[in-house]
Amino acid sequence: MTSLLTQTLPPHSRYIAHCTDNDCSKFKGDQGNVWVKIDQLSFNYSADPQWPSDFLNTKLGGKWTVTIPPALAPGEYLVRHEILALHVAIQPMGAQFYPNCAQIRITEGGTTGLPAGVALPGAYDPNDEEGVSNLT
């Protein structure tokens, strides 16, 4: 018998993408490798508590501050916060993604563009070993 966790203890990730021609209304996140991971909070054996959601709530007061890379060139960007729920990830297609985005405008900064990232959706393969986890 396999028991599933009754509580989600997900990793959290943050990505940033530049909007082509500084127009986020035409943004296509799944076309090209445009999303660059800038931060993540995941299971940590040496932390107390170990699970990211617990750590976020008890150690960070429920707030997670992410620094935008200061050398980025001015322009329009999308920041994506993604929670990956693993409570039913024991089965293929069981991992549940909960993304949300915010549009930001960088008015001062550097001249650095973003490196190649990943397409979202499209970066995760549900048949990949990392996409299926037995957390029991």
What is the CATH classification number for the domain harbouring 98?
Answer: 2.70.50.70
Q: Are the beta carbons of 87 and 5 closer than 8 angstroms? A: yes
Q: What is the pLDDT of residues 66-120, one digit of tens each?
A: 889 999 999 999 999 888 777 777 777 777 788 899 999 999 989 999 999 998 8
Q: Is residue 96 part of a domain?
A: yes
Tell me the C-alpha to C-alpha distance, in Å, between residue 79 and each of 34, 55, 57, 112, 118. 11, 22, 21, 17, 14
Q: Is residue 67 part of a domain?
A: yes
| Most confident listed range (44-48, 56-60, 65-69) | 65-69
* Domain around 79: 12-131
Q: Is residue 36 part of a domain?
A: yes
Q: Is residue 104 part of a domain?
A: yes
Q: What is the mean pLDDT of the chain?
A: 79
Give the model's pLDDT for residue 127: 65
Pair of tokens at residue 102 = 């915010």
Nearest-Å Rg of the Cα atoms of the chain is 17
Q: Is residue 136 part of a domain?
A: no
Q: Is residue 5 part of a domain?
A: no
Domains held by the chain: number: 1
Give the model's pLDDT for residue 126: 67
Give the model's pLDDT for residue 3: 35
Q: Is residue 20 part of a domain?
A: yes
